[in-house]
Amino acid sequence: MHVPTMAEMMANGQQPEILFWVGCSGSFDDRAKKITKAFVKLLNQANISFAVLGTEESCTGDPAKRAGNEFLFQMQAMTNIEVLNAYEVKKIVTACPHCFNTIKNEYPELGGNYQVLHHTEFLTELINEGKLTVKGGTFKGKRITFHDPCYLGRANNVYEAPRELIEKLDAELVEMKRSKKNGLCCGAGGAQMFKEPEKGNKDINVERTEDALETNPEIIAAGCPFCNTMLTDGIKFKEKEGQIKVLDVAEILAQAQDL
């Protein structure tokens, strides 16, 4: 799988249409790497000119900021902004709502102004423009429920793009009782991903998994690598791994295309 870096492209005098911001999770987490690969396959299928920063990409600073370390956040953000501006990046697409929210809403005041899209928004655009065709494949008629990531939904009002993609597969989209503006956090936001939960009666990811299970789904779709981890853990806790899959929307599209 060939994934060009910005450095390679610039050396050849080329400017890609989009920069794919991979994020820490999509780079290092073995499960999230599958989401990264699925999205790259779809970009290649649509003949999109894209590049990644590779080793020049650093954490956006989202976890540091949410955990209260503004100084570290600004250091990380400024480093990234310098790299992005040096490459004259205009359009960024990412599969991580945390990166999406931070680069879109918090980088501008530090001098980083870009058009930022979540991968579900970009994939919807590609389909509507006819650059990517969708086959229902093995997902046709399957019961799929979509979990709204906090930083995609409530923070940025992106609700329809991922649902549109699921419906284009001729799948049966079933909504949880808490969805869209009333969606419940998976428990990983606000830098909670990197610490053990505090004492209580029930872990929040189990509570959210129960919401999903009430819809009697065959697949729980997510649009965030953190949510994917939390819901996968919830499914394991409920001992349902054999019956229910947790998949990113990009993985569902790529598998439907047999990519």
pLDDT tens-place string over residues 58-111: 999 999 999 999 999 999 999 999 999 999 999 999 999 999 999 999 999 999
Mean pLDDT of the 178-197 span:
91
Q: pLDDT value at position 167?
A: 93
Spatial separation of the C-alpha atoms in residues 145 and 221, rounded to whole Å: 6
Share above pLDDT 90 across residues of the chain, in percent, rounded to a whole number:
91
Share above pLDDT 70 across residues of the chain, in percent, rounded to a whole number:
100
DSSP, residue by residue, the chain: ----BHHHHHHTT---SEEEE-HHHHHH-HHHHHHHHHHHHHHHHTT--EEB-GGG----SHHHHHTT-HHHHHHHHHHHHHHHHHTT--EEEES-HHHHHHHHHTSGGGT---EEEEHHHHHHHHHHTTSS----GGGTT-EEEEPPPTTTTTTT---HHHHHHHHHTT-EE---SS-GGGPPP-S-TTTGGGSPPPSSSS-HHHHHHHHHHTT--SEEEESSHHHHHHHHHHHHHTT-TTT-EEEEHHHHHHHHTT-
pLDDT in tens, 215-244: 999 999 999 999 999 999 999 999 999 999
Quick one: residue 216, left, alpha or beta (phi over 0 = left, psi -120 to 50 = alpha)? left
Q: pLDDT value at position 198?
A: 86
CA angle 86, 90, 94 (to 5 degrees): 105
Residue 136, pLDDT > 80, answer no
Give the chain's domains with CATH numbers.
Answer: 6-125 (3.40.50.1860), 134-256 (3.40.50)
On the 0-12 / 13-18 / 19+ scale of CB atoms within 10 A, 2 is exposed
Q: pLDDT value at position 179?
A: 96
Spatial separation of the C-alpha atoms in residues 67 and 191, rounded to whole Å: 6
Residue 259, pLDDT > 80, answer no
Q: pTM for this one?
A: 0.94
Give the chain's mean pLDDT. 95
Residue 14, pLDDT > 90, answer yes
Q: pLDDT value at position 30?
A: 97
Spatial separation of the C-alpha atoms in residues 212 and 159, rounded to whole Å: 17
pLDDT band at 153 (very low <50, low <70, confident <90, very high): very high
Residue 190, pLDDT > 90, answer no
Q: pLDDT value at position 227?
A: 97
Q: In what order do the strands lie in the sheet with 18-21?
A: 50-51, 18-21, 91-94, 115-118
Give me the residues paired with residue 222 across strands. Answer: 248
Q: pLDDT value at position 205?
A: 94
Q: pLDDT value at position 240?
A: 96
pLDDT in tens, 75-90: 999 999 999 999 999 9
Mean pLDDT of the 3-21 span:
96
Residue 118, pLDDT > 90, answer yes
Tokens of 6: 């910005």
CA angle 101, 104, 106 (to 5 degrees): 80
Spatial separation of the C-alpha atoms in residues 123 and 203, rounded to whole Å: 33
Q: pLDDT value at position 195?
A: 84
